Amino acid sequence: EPEVTQTPSHQVTQMGQEVILRCVPISNHLYFYWYRQILGQKVEFLVSFYNNEISEKSEIFDDQFSVERPDGSNFTLKIRSTKLEDSAMYFCASSVGQGNQPQHFGDGTRLSIL
Amino acid sequence: GNSVTQMEGPVTLSEEAFLTINCTYTATGYPSLFWYVQYPGEGLQLLLKATKADDKGSNKGFEATYRKETTSFHLEKGSVQVSDSAVYFCALNLPLNTGNQFYFGTGTSLTVIP
């Protein structure tokens, strides 16, 4: 069964450094998402992406965050200057459509900011 | 606004016990409802879904019925196994939601002991 893959599984970065989290969505999916889960808290929406542009973003997704689909295969999340509070599990997801279509999640990247 | 409220965990049950995890929602519109499961160290996996009132989603012995009158989508299983130990997330999505983001509950941790 096709799946969403994320790399790396764990990223440790110094505060203030840039970090790029990578995702390969399921190949026939058209909608892409990033979520994050701070330890012990709920899964929070960051951004959705469709037709090569952001369709929605949350308050969390400020100017330090950006997303890109550079080559029709990968879907990346960049954090420009990381802060301690960016430490979380970041999940990529994709779906074939909207509304009642399930989103398929990767295993996540654990980001630790030192 | 849109939100999901789940019962507080953690929940600890003996093998073969009956499981109920409560989930209620608030939504502007007619949402689709989902249960996701997160096994230790893994991402979110779709467990079941229901897209309209009175629909019952089922998978792997788990069931949940979309109750519009009580705005609920409680997860049940008649006889849990040790392998069901995981965190369970209730989520909703709206068909006309521009960003197509899911709204997740806080998750309920289930531990099944032999």
Residue-wise pLDDT for A71-91, tens only, equals 878 999 999 999 999 999 999
pLDDT score for B19: 97
Closest C-alpha to B51, from B34, B35, B63, B36: B34
- Contact check, Cβ <8 Å, B100/A45: no
Complete DSSP assignment for B77-93:
ESS--GGG-EEEEEEEE
Average pLDDT over residues B43-54: 93
Rounded Cα–Cα distance for residues B60 and B94 (Å): 25
Q: Which residue of A has its CA nearest to B42?
A: A107
Classify the C-alpha dihedral A27-A33-A38-A43 as positive or negative: negative
Give the bridge partners for A13, in sequence order.
A113
| pLDDT above 70: percentage of residues in chain A | 99
B57 touching A (Cβ < 8 Å): no
A107 and B49 within 8 Å at the Cβ level: the answer is no
Give the CA distances from residue A25 to residues A5, A46, A69, in Å, rounded to whole numbers and listed in that order. Answer: 7, 16, 10
